[in-house]
Amino acid sequence: MSIEYVKHDLYPESILIRNFIGKVDVNDIIDSWEYLNKNKLIDKKIKGVITNLTGCELIMDMESFKTLIAYLKKEDYIKKIKLAVISNIPETIVFPFLGEIQESELKIKPFSTMEAAVDWISKGL
């Protein structure tokens, strides 16, 4: 598993992209959030993070999904930004759909393209 962190070309101060590659589980996702926080990669200017799962195999079930949601909800810096998740695999995209429907305090939204995710985050910039 590896993660590539990239600032968006048009919105480098507002949108951060995480490209996950290989097999990814809930611990990898949480570790990535902790890395972003520890290294101050999410500051007040960041309006959203795009999690690109198109290059990975997500290993997740409902129990690990609940673990991830509990982590996200306890982190104030995460609750302040938009969380776009890109996937084109039904078994993967179901999790951000559940997050969007069940967790109104988190701004999670699933997408199938980078362009749509960027459009959503950039509204209001």
| pLDDT tens per residue, range 9-26 | 999 999 999 999 999 999
Q: Which residues contact 8 (CB under 8 A, 6 or more apart)?
A: 14, 15, 16, 17, 50, 118
- Averaged pLDDT for residues 98-103: 94
Cα torsion for 89, 91, 86, 69, to the nearest 10°? 180
What are the CA-CA distances from residue 104 to residues 39, 63, 107, 113 (Å)?
Answer: 27, 19, 7, 23
- Averaged pLDDT for residues 60-76: 97
Question: pTM for the complete prediction?
Answer: 0.95
Given the candidates 3.40.250.10, 3.30.750.24, 3.30.70.20, 3.40.50.620, the CATH classification of the domain at 2-122 is 3.30.750.24
Q: Which residue has the higher pLDDT, 60 or 124?
A: 60
Q: Which tens digit of pLDDT belongs to each residue from 104-121?
A: 999 999 999 999 999 999
What are the extents of the domains in the chain?
2-122
The partner residues of 18 in beta bridges, in order of sequence, read: 5, 51
Cα torsion for 45, 82, 85, 101, to the nearest 10°? 170
Look at residue 124 in the predicted model and tell me its pLDDT: 72
Look at residue 57 in the predicted model and tell me its pLDDT: 96
Look at residue 86 in the predicted model and tell me its pLDDT: 98
Nearest-angstrom CA–CA distance, 125 and 20: 26
